[in-house]
Amino acid sequence: MGHLSWHSAQYMHLCHQVLSRSHLNSVFRLKEAGILTSPLVRLDSISNTSLANNGIHVSLGSKMLTLLSRQGAYTPALEKSIGDLTIKIFEHFLPLFPDLFSASPWYLDYLDMRPEHVAGFLAHELTNTHLRMLWRRWIRKAGMVILGRPILPDGPEWYEKLWKGVFRIPGITVPDLRLVDYFVALLSTPESPSLSGKLGNDLLLKKDLASHGIFDENMSVYLPVKLREFRKMGFSGFEARYYSLFDSFLLDMVDAVDLQHLVTAYAYKKALEGEVTHEDIPDDPFTESERRQIFFSSALGISTVNIRIDTPNLFMAQLLALIHSARPSKRYASYWKIKVHDYRLALLGILRSDPELVESLQAESLLDRCEERVQSGNIVATRILGGALGKEKGVRVLSRRRFLCDSLQTTLNSKLELYYRDNLRRIHTTEAIEVLVEEISSSSNRRSGSMWSIQRKICGESDPESFLLTRKEGLLNDSLPLEEISALLAVTALHLYEKKCSCASSDTEIET
């Protein structure tokens, strides 16, 4: 256990070191893209703290694929080929998740909007073309374009404050800052595509990026959706790494994971049946960046994106055919101008086009709820802001281009921090206790067996459900004594062990 902790600490130190260096090296990429034009670059600290919010990771494994892997029928080469293609298809659906199901809203003042500060990791995740497109829309939404000219905070501090005061530049509230402030996705290089379906392609990409000081060969590949290989994990499946914060586990996370399941099944089915091939979704960096820019635009609350009219990505072309509002861009020749809202509806439409899959997963009502979120703006970022500021103000902060008032600019992030640490923590803890009580109550051996006997010893005269409920307030208020916290952990661990044993029994039945 001590060796494992030491190894984890060393790995986290490596991640911190590499991400800090990567953020520093982004200055050259931003200059190359023409976004950073000032000779004055200011980084308050070279040390990058993005690891402080690594988000929520959700892995979904397949019992059938795991069994086939154990039997040798699902070989590592086949798992890699179909798995990478599944991920490429899935990445087109990523815009359905940021802001709609998970979020980490944060206010960026005009003085925070220095390119080297807020666009550092984006410089390693998008091509220069898509980075320029996104940056142009971002600063326009932040009110940083005056008479057609961008007014960037790219000088001495007194100079920046002067510009802000003269033009009353409001800044911007970002729906999901974590996805921009963290290294979410490694952009492939022309020589080393990350999702080509070939064994070892991730090692070649890491080696290539390490030679440029962007990544390290000893780190795990960063992708929004990642293959969980049987030979490494002991099961075969996929991990989603794009979730930030849920306002409610029951209202948001349940549907989000069900949608993740549906999209994974849809993508895997298309890959397995040969309806979509690796050749249909080319592995060049530009095509990869083209689909991911919509994901990052969703996180930033940017409403439109541009897609090539003659895109070689045939799956993207299939999606664009469903968007009747697409128009040729006036600014970018040979590009469609697409509304993110309409793109999201097209994604739901293409999922509905496979009624057999939707019916098998009983996902019709799920898709209805997803469409309601897209259409009505019932999104997590708004609800989190509403929780921190009050419902009415929370809606206005995201919907209005100009900020509410100067005083709120200085207090919004403080109120969000307080909401995350207090109210949201209490909401999540309450939901967790309620779910645990419900599961223990419905357990098959609730009143018999060795587990019940052990639980009664821990809980004394109370049954586990009453024991949990009577200690809920103490847990929420941080007033429980250490021995009762230990008892709560023990009850939870026993229940998880019981579920694990039940799953193991189910796996044995499948093998039989």
Q: Is 461 helix (H, G, I), strand (E, B) or coil?
A: coil
Angle CA 236–241–245, to nearest 5: 135
Q: Is 305 helix (H, G, I), strand (E, B) or coil?
A: strand
Closest CA to 380 of 244, 259, 239: 244
Name the pairing type of β-strands 149-150 and 335-339: unpaired
Q: Could you list the pLDDT tens digit for every one of the 512 residues in the chain?
A: 454 455 677 888 888 888 888 888 888 898 999 898 877 777 666 666 666 677 899 999 999 999 999 999 999 999 999 999 999 999 999 999 999 999 999 998 888 888 888 888 999 999 999 999 999 999 999 888 888 888 888 777 777 778 777 878 878 889 999 999 889 999 999 999 999 999 999 999 999 999 988 898 988 889 999 999 999 999 999 999 999 999 999 999 999 999 999 999 999 999 999 999 999 999 999 999 999 999 999 999 999 999 999 999 999 999 999 999 999 999 999 999 999 999 999 999 999 999 999 999 999 999 999 999 999 877 899 999 888 887 655 555 655 444 444 555 567 888 999 999 999 999 999 999 999 888 888 775 555 566 667 777 777 767 788 888 888 898 898 888 898 888 888 888 888 888 777 766 555 554 54
Structure tokens at 76: 């590592």
Q: How far apart are CA 175 and CA 138, in angstroms?
A: 12
Q: How far apart are CA 475 and CA 492, in angstroms?
A: 14
Residue 38: φ, ψ to 5°: -80, 140
Structure tokens at 242: 């794009």
pTM of the model as a whole: 0.91
Q: How far apart are CA 280 and CA 273, in angstroms?
A: 14
β-pair partners for 103: 245
Closest CA to 183 of 354, 423, 22, 58: 22
* CA distance readout (Å), 132 to 123, 194, 336: 10, 23, 16
Domains of the chain: which residue ranges?
Answer: 14-370, 410-511
